[in-house]
Structure formats: C-alpha cells, structure tokens
Chains A and B, each alone.
Chain A
C-alpha cells in the first residue's frame, strides 16, 4: 500500500502541477483544483452522453463509471472465487477464498446475527455483504491514483494535450471516489431506508410494522409528540448515513489535496519553484503520506459503520423493544 500511496501522492502532485500550468497566468487557485479532484465530473461533459428521461439527465459521469468498474470487479472476483471453491469435491478454502470466507463469516456472525437475529440472518446477510464490499471498494479505489497515472501516460507518452478529446482525457476529470458524492451515499441510504421497511413488514406484517414505530399503551398526548419524532427519526437515520459516509470520504481527500497545494502556494508566494519543492519534501509529502495512511483506516471504518448501522436499523425494525 505504501508504494501506491507514494504514487498517489506523486501523481496527485503531478496532476496539480498540470492544473497549475493552466492557472499560472491567472494564479494558482487551490480551491478550484481541490474541488475538481473531489467532485463528480461535470454533467456538461459526461463520459457517455445519454438522453434526459423525465427531466433527469442519465448521462454516465465519472462516478457512475467508477461504480460500474467497482461492481464489475467485485462481481468477477467474488463470483469466480466462489465458483472455484464450490466446484471442489472436498471444499477446502485457500488463498483469496480464505479471506472471502472470513469476510462472509464475520459479517454474518458479528454484524448481522447479533442485530437482526437468527431468524432472518440469511435474508439480510447478502445485503450487508454487498453494502460492505461495494462501499469499501468504492472508498479504496478513491485512494488509488490510477486515473492520474493514466493521465501522465496520456500526456507524456501519448503526447495528447491538456484539452484533447482522447478517451483517457475524457475520464480524467472529476474525483474517483463515488462514495464521496452525496447523491451516491443518499442512494445507498435510500436502500437502507426501504430495507428497514421491508424487514419490518416481513417480520410483523405491513400494518404491525407501522404500529411498531411507537410503543403501545401510552397516554394520547404522548403520541402527539412521539409520532412526529419517530417519523422524523425514520428519515434522520438514512440522512445521517448519507452525510457520514460522503463527508468522511470527501474530507480526507480535501485534506491531502490541501496539503499538496502548499507546494504550489509557496512556489507562487516566493516566485521560486525551489521553495515549493522544498516545502513539498519537508512538509507536504510526509503529511500527505500520513493522512493517506489514516485514510486507509477511515475507508474501512466507514464501510464497516455504514454496514453495521444498516444492520442495527434493520434489527430495530425486526426486534422491537418498546
């Protein structure tokens, strides 16, 4: 991971150099560069232009593409490992399968089982597993500067210009972390939102599930207070999930990019590239590497937290304790 991070830092730096080239005439704008590296690619220049349906632009932007890449990768790797494992006469897990099995078992036994309960454990484990691996890999991919490396290749090996319409250049714009986008996390939280309802309905029936929202047998005025609060809670739960994941993913990247921007800010202030490079090696690079290391923990923790909280909410709808 360390080399990857060194690469990331290097590539991000190079990319910033790139951006700074264009900005040299009007001065280096750190904010713009950072936003460009964290946010989705613009809807005005999508990777694949698709028609509007019911006023919604379905064009494939960078984050959509990232999700497809992640999904395809996950599906291939996990399905192939599973099939190879299940084909054996004596099922002995080995290599990658050991890790996969550990993941399946620990998510089932330490996230789903204690929260959801033994009755529905096999119903909800697939959702939790998919949530976990999808969020985790989306997060991790954001830490790997693969497109920046591709950009360097495009610029210096293929010799395409900054403004060219090459395929590589078209996928360069925008951040790679789909889970840093509020629209993506909101969609994932929406899945949690409906999963809670489905779980409650499956366990108690449709009407009973809604009745379970508030405890029974209280005085009427209490309900006037409780029902709005509980209804609000219904929406606050996925909203919190949305914000937590997206903000965490955005925050780390902004921190790394801000620190790397110091290189160009100092170079500009002192009008000397040497000062910028000096600051880069003594301050920016060690700090950025440190934050990248921290980010490795954050991406795992956030994937875990999202999965765990989804399991907790689903468990609350199934095992009602009032």
Chain B
C-alpha cells in the first residue's frame, strides 16, 4: 500500500465528513432553506396572480354579457314604449274623431230641431195673422157685426178650412 493514490487516510475521511456536514448545515440554514421557501412562495404568488387574472377575465366577460343583455333589454323596452305611445296616440285621435263626429251630429240634430220649432212657431203665427186678416177681410166684406159666438164659430170654421187646405 505504498501507492499514494490508494492510501487509506482516516484523518482525511473524517475531515471530509465534518467539513461536508458543517457546510451542509450552514448552507441549509442560510441559503437553501430560505431559497426553497422563497421559491415556494413565489410559485404560490404566481399561481394566485394567474388565478386572479383568470377570475377578472371571467368577471369581465360576465359584465360584457350583462351589458349586452341590458342594451338589448333597453332597446326592446324603447321599442315597446314607442309602439305603446303610437297606439295611445292612435286611440286619442280616434276618440277625438269620434267625439267631433258625435258633436257635429248633435249640432246638426239641435239645429234641425230648432228649425222645426221655429218653423212651427212661424206657421202658428202666420196662421193667427191669416185668421185675423181673414176676419177683418170678412167683416169688411159682410159689413155685418156678428155676435161673439157667431164670430168664434166662424173663426173655428175658417181654421178648420185652413188646416184642411194646408198641405201637411
């Protein structure tokens, strides 16, 4: 065993183990431990940020969907309002039309009735005047003063004659 390449050296062996274990302990405490922890933390952070981003995106998509829906709803509502008001306007117009028509009709009937009344009264008046005129004409003609009863009978007679001769 005089070949230095394969010479057993227990001192070196023990020094190696001690050196390595001390290095391991120091590095594990001051470097590897904190580094591994930091790596894990960062992994968690990245995972969380990605999750958050995904969630935000989903929320955005939902909001977009909702806004589209809202716009559609608003549009439909607007359309229905327009249609409703159009219909209301139509009914109002129709109402007015009807009312105007009715009013006009009423006015016409009233006028007709008034005309009739006026006509009737005029006829009555004319009749009286005709009677008086005929009476005076008759008295002048006959020059004879008749009694009141005789006059009334004559008047009635004349009226009947006029009535009969009047075209109805």
Q: Which residues of A contact B (CB under 8 A)?
A: 35, 38-40, 42-43, 56-61, 63-64, 67-68, 71, 74-75, 78-79, 82-83, 85-86, 91, 100-101, 104-105, 108, 122, 125-127, 129-130, 133-134, 178, 181-184, 186-188, 190-191, 250
Which residues from A are CB-within-8-Å of B102?
none
Q: Which residues of B contact A (CB under 8 A)?
A: 3-17, 19-24, 26-28, 30-36, 38-40, 42
Instruction: Judge whether A188 and B20 touch: CB under 8 Å.
Output: yes
Instruction: Judge whether A40 and B39 touch: CB under 8 Å.
Output: no
The listed residue (A35, A58, A67) touching B16 by CB distance below 8 A is: A67
Which residues from B are CB-within-8-Å of A85?
35, 38
The docked-state distance in angstroms from the alpha carbon of A104 to that of B33 is: 11
The listed residue (B13, B16, B22, B24) touching A127 by CB distance below 8 A is: B24
A171 → chain B, closest Cβ, in Å? 16
Q: Please judge, given known A-B contacts A64-B15, A183-B12, A183-B16, whether A82 and B35 are in contact too, CB under 8 Å.
A: yes
- Closest partner residue, chain A, to B24 (CB atom): A130
Which residues from B are CB-within-8-Å of A59?
11
Which residues from B are CB-within-8-Å of A182?
5-6
Q: Assuming A35-B4, A187-B16, what are 13 further A-B pairs, CB within 8 angstroms?
A: A40-B4, A58-B14, A61-B12, A67-B20, A75-B23, A79-B26, A79-B31, A82-B30, A104-B39, A126-B32, A129-B27, A183-B9, A190-B13
A265 → chain B, closest Cβ, in Å? 21
Instruction: Judge whether A104 and B19 touch: CB under 8 Å.
Output: no
Instruction: Judge whether B39 and A105 touch: CB under 8 Å.
Output: yes
Which residues from A are CB-within-8-Å of B11?
43, 56-59, 61, 64
B24 → chain A, closest Cβ, in Å? 4
The docked-state distance in angstroms from the alpha carbon of A133 to that of B23 is: 11
Which residues from A are CB-within-8-Å of B35?
82, 85, 100-101, 104
Instruction: Judge whether A187 and B17 touch: CB under 8 Å.
Output: yes
The listed residue (B17, B21, B34) touching A86 by CB distance below 8 A is: B34
Which residues from B are CB-within-8-Å of A108?
36, 39
Which residues from B are CB-within-8-Å of A35?
3-5
Q: Please judge, given known A-B contacts A191-B17, A250-B5, whether A91 and B38 are in contact too, CB under 8 Å.
A: yes
The 10 closest A-B pairs by CB, nearest first: A187-B16, A39-B4, A126-B28, A126-B32, A183-B12, A71-B23, A130-B24, A82-B31, A183-B9, A56-B10
